[in-house]
Amino acid sequence: MALKGRELNMWMPIMINIRNTIILMALPSMVTADLIPLTDSTLKKIDGEGIGIVLEDFVFQAGEQANGGTFEISGLENSSGAPVVFGISQFYVSGSNSNRGTNVINNPVNLGRLLYPYNIELRDGDDLGITDKAVLELAAPEKLVDESYFQVSKENRTERRFPGQQVASGQRVDSISGFNNSIFSSRAGEKADLGIRFDLEVNGSNAQSLENHIKDLAIDGSYVRLWGGGNRVEAEINLNIYASQLEFRACNSSGANCGDSVYFNDIGIESQIGDGSYQPVTFEVTPDGQFSFLVGSLEGKCVTNATGGCVAGADKNRLIEYYESGPTTNTYIGNINIGGAAVNTPGNFGSSTISNLQIQYLEVTSHDL
């Protein structure tokens, strides 16, 4: 059957389209590009400095009461030599409003943010005041701004810092005047509730049940830095703890008839321990099998003159820097009360503040009894 003029005109576009379609269908097979290996120069630009860790929709729960079974910590004795066993009834990590661990399983929490994750990183010690060392840093989410949570009011003082020593002038913290809530990278849904309930078993029978609960915990800005310094592991620790409430209470052996809770409300702890390799923190076990926790001494950091002061020079300047801007510990508890007692009633201990505590030497060693 031959096509006549008009029919041919009508079918031409369709035939052309079919041809184009076939050509188009054939096109992908003409693409010769393939996966190619990345060159070294490209790879070098990918600077994965560390490993970010985020726990998404996280819930953790363990314990004898929560999941059945046995969960015990033993090895302790009371004063009369009877073995004391901690039976963990419940240990949980969940989102806020856990209601003392009753709302855990369906109350997940995100720990860390994609933009502010927990981070494990090898860092150059030269940037951190730890000269010529590679430093392993384990860090909690960064603060949004690198500032203290505490806003303080200061006063000028001229006094003897120590009886018999010379008079010195300077500023001293008078009180905590406010809080800087803009430092937190953890948002409301990213603060965890965690707690532990345990039974004290003395001589195999339950004696008492104790509970600790922490609400809305954030540890933004905390880190541990570890490096090898002269045949041992040295560390610098920055521990920031913020929580809306810490609660302790004791109940009877079956976990009922609980007494009044002791509440620590609005807690802020910012503790810096150690100052790079200048004042390292070490954790060791002594040759006779006891542990020893040491925050390095400042003794001998400068050459002293006849009156016991530092001889002027770089060593002295470094010490001045240490005292002025070195590691400090600041702690604030908004309110301590028993059983929710209101302010200005018995059972309410008001607020407490520790500011500018500087650990200049610390040695803790265990001993056998």
For residues 262-321, which are near other proteins according to CB under 8 A?
A: 282-291
Least distance from other proteins to the Cβ atom of residue 2, Å: 11
Return the range that interacts with other proteins (CB under 8 A); candidates 45-53, 174-182, 195-203, 352-360.
45-53
Return the range that interacts with other proteins (CB under 8 A); candidates 57-65, 297-305, 321-329, 343-351.
57-65
For 100, 138, 320, 364, the CA distances from 296, given in Å and listed in that order, are 40, 21, 17, 12
Q: Are 277 and 235 in contact (CB under 8 A)?
A: no
Tell me the two tokens of residue 348.
């309410």
Query: How many residues lie near other proteins (CB under 8 A)?
Result: 62
Q: Are 209 and 251 in contact (CB under 8 A)?
A: yes
Local structure of 281: helix, strand or coil? strand
Tell me the two tokens of residue 113.
């943010």
Is 56 a residue that touches other proteins (CB under 8 A)?
Answer: yes
Is 35 a residue that touches other proteins (CB under 8 A)?
Answer: no
Return the range that interacts with other proteins (CB under 8 A); candidates 55-63, 205-213, 241-249, 320-328.
55-63
* Half-sphere exposure for 353 (CA within 13 Å, toward CB): 13
Least distance from other proteins to the Cβ atom of residue 311, Å: 32
Return the range that interacts with other proteins (CB under 8 A); candidates 60-68, 210-218, 300-308, 316-324.
60-68
Q: Are 106 and 100 in contact (CB under 8 A)?
A: no
Closest CA to 181 of 191, 173, 172: 191
Nearer to other proteins, 199 or 270 (CB): 199
Least distance from other proteins to the Cβ atom of residue 73, Å: 5
| Chain-centroid distance, C-alpha 166 | 40
Least distance from other proteins to the Cβ atom of residue 33, Å: 21
204/206 Cα distance (integer angstroms): 7
139/128 Cα distance (integer angstroms): 14
Of the candidate residues 5, 13, 75, 163, the single one contacting other proteins (CB under 8 A): 75
Nearer to other proteins, 41 or 344 (CB): 41
Q: Would you tell me which residues interact with other proteins (CB under 8 A)?
A: 1, 3, 7, 11, 14, 45-62, 64, 66-76, 105, 108, 110, 113-115, 117, 119, 121, 187, 189, 230-233, 282-291, 366, 368
